Structure 1
Amino acid sequence: MRFWAALLVALSLFPLTVRAEAQPFTVTIEGLKKGSLLRNIEAQLSIRTEVREQTDARPLSDRRLRSLHRRAEEDIRGALNPFGYYDTEITSDFNLDERRATYTIVTLGPRTVVRDIAIRIEGEGKTFEPLKDLRARLRIQPGEPLRHQRYNDDKSSFSQAAFEYGFLDGRFLVSDLWVYPDEQAADIEWRFDTGTRWRFGEISVESDNIDEDVVRRYLRIEENAYFSPRDVLNTQLALTDLGYFAQVEVVPDRDNQSETHVPMTIRTTPIKDVLYSAGIGYGTDTGARLSLGAESRRLNRRGHKLRTDLRLSEVQNRIGTEYRIPLGNKIGEFLSFHTGYIDEEFDEGTTERYEIGASLTREPGDWSQRTYITYEQEQSRLGNQFTDTDLLIPGVSFTRSELDDPIHPRNGWYALIDVHGASDDALSTTTFLQTLAQARFVLPLWESARLLLRGEYGATLNEDLAELPASQRFFAGGDQSVRGYAYRSIGPRDDSGENIGGEYMTTFSAEIEQTVWGNFGAAAFLDAGGVDNKPGPALSQGVGVGMRYRAPIGYINLDLAHPLRRPETGVRLHLGIRVGL
């Protein structure tokens, strides 16, 4: 008997565990439309969060539900406070038997507004006008509804602005937000100590593969100038873009700073000297193609570069070498020497060209200016015409682009203007003057859609077209010209019907692209273009649709285009890649 009594006592010390399953429970919020208020309540309401997160392994007990319900109104009020609502009327209906809880926002109550903002700036920057002017640009102003997020954003913006002006140690001594719910008013008091406005101190450069004076040409920071984080970042980006370094660090040495100056150290890690490249592909203009390249990215400590490229395709073969010498203090400025060989074969002709030349590229403003001179020896056969020319061609071109994304732009433009020519009085077999202008635009339409516009005009002044080689004549048609027509198939024809190119060219294109799913999209387009020996050539039109794939290297385009000019018929397939514009 004693044994059984002892056993019962022992068992009573170990409660019997019965596995419970999570019971459904509904939490409803009423009285508000969908929007930021409701979303914040849903995020802050603990009973709603824990009900959604309960599992069979960890169910919510009735005791826990009651506890969460008791704090529910506090959660709701706390979620509404950041929007300026401090006097909200709330009713609740909590029913464990029916497994539900309903919280109703009867009235939000009057919204608290900002009554006064007192900002006091201390330290060296107390008379610094740009900081004083920041007050007028704050998002939160007297008379505006109080929103905590805007208050916090303004504090961060103020501190960041001080930092960007060189006040590296700026801090808030006081940052108080006083809320008076009974008065529906809030007062803001800030005291900000800017500390010292620092300047750049001594700048040291650590570079193992490029001479220090070359590196210093591209620095965007100067000794004794006021410290600017933006200039530090621009220096890092500029040195990285040079292509000489695998890594660039621009580091302030605050351990050795003086009372007003911060020394700067620029550390560079050399990149691999030689870059080899290879690629294979296919385009409807070129057919199958192969490319090989080798670039010495640092031929010497002065930063000279040497690049050789070989490109083979069913239509064109090209080999070229370029020697580049950096100049000035901008990435895009350099002196270049090049030589190359090109042979091209198309449906109604062939051309073979040797060239050697030099060019100087400068960026005097927003435009990139390239001044060049090239000597070319070219033999061409177009229809029944054969030309053997020697041309010394001086020229100048201007280019500019403004794109929100260099690879997949949605907004921006690109423009090119080129003028060049030759004279039979200067080592050339003929005289001509030629100009070419191109403009391309991309504009956002609705979400995930963009409009692409392209226009091109070329004109040549010369005595006799028959004396011009193929490279100095205009043609149209193909992937990058007028889709629906074969590559270089649009142009004046000789007595035998062969396309021999012309002196004037006009092309334009309008295209709408729409993302359909993920990286896949669709397009519809209209192209038009013409070539003739007089201004204003008659235009050949092509219309079509296409598929787009947004790849890391650009858009892969697959188009079906129908020509509208007789006797052209049928549908032509165009396959290509578009990078930028």
Structure 2
Amino acid sequence: MTWPLLAFLLLCASNAACAAYQVQLDAPSSLKELLERHLDLVRYQDRDDLNDDQLNFMLETVEAQVAKLTSTEGYFLPRTTVKVDRSGAQPVVQLTVESGARTTVANVDVRVSGAAPEHSPSQAARVRRNWQLKPGEPFRQQDWDAAKQAGLQILQRRRYPAARIAESDARIYPDIEQADLAVSYDSGPLFTLGPLQVSGTARYPESIIYNVNPLHPGEEYSADRLLELQREIQRTPYFSNVVIDIDKDPAHAQQAPVHVQVTEFPTQRLRAGVGYSTDTGAHVEGRYSHFNLFNRAWVLDTQLRLEQRRQLGAVELAMPPGAGGWIDSAHASIDRTTLEGIDLRSRRVGLRRARNTEKRDFAYTLEYYSDQLQQLNGATLPPDTVVQPGTQRALVAGAALTRRQVDNPRFPRRGYIASLELGAAFQGLLTDQTFFRAYSQLRQYNPVGRRDIVILRGELGAVVTKGGTASIPASLLFRAGGTESVRGYRYQSIGNERNGIVYPTRYLVTGGAEYQRWFSEKWGAAVFYDVGAASDSWSGKSFFHAVGVGARYRSPIGPINADLAYGFQGGNIRPHLSLGIVF
């Protein structure tokens, strides 16, 4: 406790209260907010429990307090004038502050000692090169502290977690309005990572953490690599919180153990929700998950979703991550959609072996499809329709790859997300017709200025087979239109249209360009152009075009998009709502 504050408190306890006073502060705009927030004389003016001695004490010390506050902004020789008018019901204090000249940085001396100059000279040079408070800039205490910490972070984030500020000095020369700065960093030894040391597991085996661990014993310390391990652990369904650190004792720099402390999720989870989609209408949903089936960390996930134009029931059983982070699973689902005159009921049973990381997902799949397609109005089928009503089946062996190279997984501004799916089915192996299937998506993010973004999107799909596709499951074919396809048209309304009924096709191509203008960190607007086609023959394709505008909001759970789009072929304006990134 400082002596001025102690004296002020003693005065508070020894004298009777009196009426409040008023302060009229005249100060430069660069200092006025600072003084209003921190100057005692200003902060206490509305209190009615102060006496004359306390007021006089603040008047006597205000000049010193002003000088101390303005020095943090680089004004070391302020001039303070105090006048008190006691003729009215309340004392009126006229406080005038003249800032004087601002001190600027004249010289900067940044030094790095320890292991960094020898083992990582470029990293040590980056500390000096990226020094934030440069000669000629105003000296502010906040900027001085931030510059020292920024230099320290360059060392601590990689190789040298025990780095410290060995010495720092700011020499101020108020009479010539200059400041000479000097800081010396001690990087300490170069750290390497050792084995994991896991704590906090009770329900789930520690092997889950070891199997998803991307670190290698002996690699150089990196804070980003520890964060990568943290994200890999949290990608699993078992742990609600993960804290990772190492022992930063310089005496144990080599093979420093990585401490992993986890908090586990409960073994069971029940969720329910309601919502609305412009593609498939209102919906209710229920989901039940068990994360420790048979006490073996098997994950049972069941889902029931009822929408106006779609109903889905699904169940999945997944093993815990094995060596290398691979997860084996089995799943089954029943999916019914009633869109564009088609009643499509798809049953699927499959096996999957997948490995998902922060930047890449890869999976091998073997899935059996049994699709039943019917016309809702029972009309006679035109002779040139490729897909026939009835039941089609296929056993498809496939592989899928998704690559994410973006600066921010939730709200990307730079980079791309790409995916590719390949599959094949052969007649006679639980399959009615031999075919090969390929499907890919690409989304490219390009920053414009400080906040804006240009997003380019593309989508390609093809089913290759001899003859027609009448015996291929309809859910493996393609239709376009809707929120995540070609806006301005109904969901899956672009395809092989016959008598008002839209049948799925063997080829798909869509694309779009969108410019997002962000007015703040959370709110923005967009203009866009979409184009696409779904056809059974490239020679007979017809492209559908649309333009539109929309609102954008960065919510805690992901981006929310609300669009109005005009489809040129349909001549209609349609609303579209979406949440999150497509893939």
Alpha-carbon distance between aligned partners in 2 of 1:42 and 1:117, rounded to the nearest angstrom: 32
Pairing partner for 2:507 from 485, 504, 508: 504
Cα deviation 1:437-457 (Å, max 9, x = unaligned): 222345555777655543322
Gaps (5+ residues) in structure 1? 1-14, 30-37
Match of 1:378 in 2: 371
1:129: which partner in 2? 120
1:113 deviation in Å?
0.7
Give 1:174 shift: 3.6
Give the deviation of 1:307 after TM superposition: 1.9
Larger radius of gyration: 1
Write the distance in 1 (CA, Å) between the matches of 2:195 and 2:424. 50
1:27 paired residue number: 26
Deviation digits for residues 19-62 of structure 1, max 9, x if unmatched?
A: 54534524133xxxxxxxx5356525899763365116267978
Give, in whole Å, the separation in 2 of the partners of 1:125 and 1:393: 55
Name the amino acid aligned to 1:341.
I
Q: Relative to structure 1, is the Cα distance of residues 173 and 372 closer, same or farther in structure 2, using a 3 angstrom cutoff?
A: closer
- Counterpart of 2:578 in structure 1: which amino acid? I
CA distance in 2, matches of 1:17, 1:46: 26
1:429 Cα deviation after fit: 1.9
Q: Report the CA distance shift for 1:577/1:146 in structure 2 as closer, same or farther (over 3 A).
A: closer
Say if 1:250 and 1:120 are closer, same or farther in 2 by CA, change over 3 A.
closer
- Given candidates 219, 228, 243, the residue that maps to 2:237 is 243
Partners of 1:451 and 1:529 in 2: how far apart?
Answer: 19
The structure-2 alpha-carbon separation of the partners of 1:60 and 1:434, relative to structure 1 and needing over 3 Å to count, comes to farther
Q: Where in structure 2 are there 5+ consecutive unaligned residues?
A: 1-13, 86-91, 382-387
Q: Return the alpha-carbon distance in structure 1 between the equivalents of residues 311 and 517 of structure 2.
A: 36
* CA positional deviation for 1:375: 2.1
Q: 1:219 to 1:301 in 2, by over 3 A?
A: farther
Amino acid in structure 1 at the alignment position of 2:363:
R
1:394 corresponds to 2:397: yes
Q: Partner amino acid for 1:286?
A: T
Q: 2:204 maps to what in 1? A: 210
Residue of structure 2 in register with 1:341 after alignment: 334
| CA distance in structure 2 between the aligned counterparts of 1:266 and 1:192, rounded to whole angstroms | 29
Distance verdict in 2 for CA 1:175–1:410, change over 3 Å: closer
Q: CA deviation at 1:504?
A: 2.4
Instruction: Evaluate the alpha carbon distance shift between residue 227 and residue 414 of structure 1 in structure 2; reply closer, same or farther with a 3 A threshold.
Output: closer
Partner residue of 2:67 out of 55, 71, 74: 74
- Correspondences of 1:23-422 after superposition (within 5 Å): 23=22, 25-29=24-28, 39-40=30-31, 42-44=33-35, 50-51=41-42, 53-55=44-46, 57=48, 63=56, 67=60, 70-71=63-64, 74-75=67-68, 78-81=71-74, 96=84, 100-104=94-98, 108=101, 111-114=104-107, 117=109, 119=111, 121=113, 127-130=118-121, 132-139=124-131, 145=137, 147=139, 148-161=141-154, 163-164=156-157, 171-180=164-173, 187-188=180-181, 203-206=196-199, 207-219=201-213, 231-250=225-244, 266-299=260-293, 303-327=297-321, 333-362=326-355, 366-381=359-374, 384=381, 385-422=388-425
Task: Provide the rounded CA distance (Å) in 2 between the counterparts of 1:253 and 1:245.
Answer: 23
Q: 1:91 to 1:349 in 2, by over 3 A?
A: closer
1:539 aligns with one of 539, 543, 557:
543
The letter of the residue matching 1:296 is H
Structure 1 residue 259 displacement after superposition: 9.5
Equivalent-residue separation in structure 1 for 2:32 and 2:494 (angstroms): 65
1:51 counterpart letter in structure 2: V
CA drift at 1:416: 1.9
Q: Once the 2 structures are TM-superposed, how far is the Cα of residue 161 of structure 1 from its aligned partner?
A: 5.0
Give the Cα separation in 2 of the matches to 1:192 and 1:549: 43
Q: What is the letter of the counterpart of residue 480 of structure 2?
A: A
Cα distance, 1:58–1:538 mapped onto 2, change above 3 Å: farther
Give the whole-Å Cα distance in 1 for the aligned partners of 2:16 and 2:264. 67
> CA–CA distance in 1 between the matches of 2:255 and 2:425?
57
SS at match of 1:240: helix
SS of equivalent residue, structure 1 residue 486: coil
SS of structure 1 residue aligned to 2:67? helix
Q: Secondary structure at the match of 2:311?
A: strand
Rounded to whole Å, the distance in 2 between the matches of 1:162 and 1:105 is: 37
Name the aligned partner's letter for residue 401 of structure 2: F
Counterparts in 2 of 1:192 and 1:57: CA distance versus 1, 3 Å: same
Residue 11 of structure 1 corresponds to which residue in structure 2?
none
- The structure-2 alpha-carbon separation of the partners of 1:57 and 1:428, relative to structure 1 and needing over 3 Å to count, comes to same
Q: Distance in 2 between matches of 1:373 and 1:420?
A: 9
Q: Which deviates more, 512-521 or 357-366?
A: 512-521
Aligned to 1:527: 530
Q: TM-score, normalised by structure 1?
A: 0.76
Measured in 2, the distance between the counterparts of 1:447 and 1:135 equals 25
CA contact (8 A) 2:354 2:361 kept: yes
Question: Is residue 51–residue 60 contact of structure 1 (8 Å, CA) maintained in 2?
Answer: no
Partner SS for 1:487: coil
- Residue 545 and residue 198 in structure 1: after superposition, are their counterparts in 2 closer, same or farther (change >3 A)? closer
Determine the C-alpha separation between the residues in 2 that align with 1:268 and 1:337: 28
Residue 33 of structure 1 corresponds to none
Distance in structure 1 (CA, Å) of the matches to 2:134 and 2:47: 52
Amino acid at match of 1:346: L
Equivalent residue, structure 2, for 1:3? none
Tell me the SS of whatever aligns to 1:424.
coil
Paired positions, count: 545
> How far did residue 425 of structure 1 move?
5.8
Q: Per the alignment, in what secondary structure is the counterpart of residue 581 of structure 2?
A: coil
Contact 2:105 2:135 in 1 (8 A): no
TM-score relative to the length of structure 2: 0.76
Instruction: Decide whether aligned partners of structure 1 residues 302 and 265 sit closer, same or farther in structure 2, where only a CA change above 3 A counts.
Output: farther
Please state how far the C-alpha of 1:264 moved relative to its aligned partner. Answer: 5.6
Q: CA deviation at 1:464?
A: 1.0
Per-residue deviation at 1:359? 2.5
1:253/1:312 Cα in 2 relative to 1: closer, same or farther (>3 Å)? Answer: same
Distance 1:253 1:299, change over 3 A: farther
How far off is 1:489 after superposition?
1.9
Q: 1:420 to 1:444 in 2, by over 3 A?
A: same
Q: Is the 8 A contact 2:373 2:390 kept in 1?
A: yes
Percent of residue pairs identical: 24
Structure 1 pair 121–20 and aligned structure 2 pair: CA distance change class (3 A): same
**Deviation readout 1:346-369 (Å, 9 max, x if unpaired):** 232222233222233246995422
Q: Which residue does the alignment assign to 2:427?
A: 424
- How large is the Cα RMSD of the aligned pairs? 4.4
Question: Quick check: 273-282 or 223-232, which moved more?
Answer: 223-232
Give the drift of 1:430.
1.8
Q: Tell me if the contact between 1:146 and 1:186 (Cα under 8 Å) persists in the aligned partners.
A: no
Which residue of 1 is the match for residue 491 of structure 2? Answer: 487
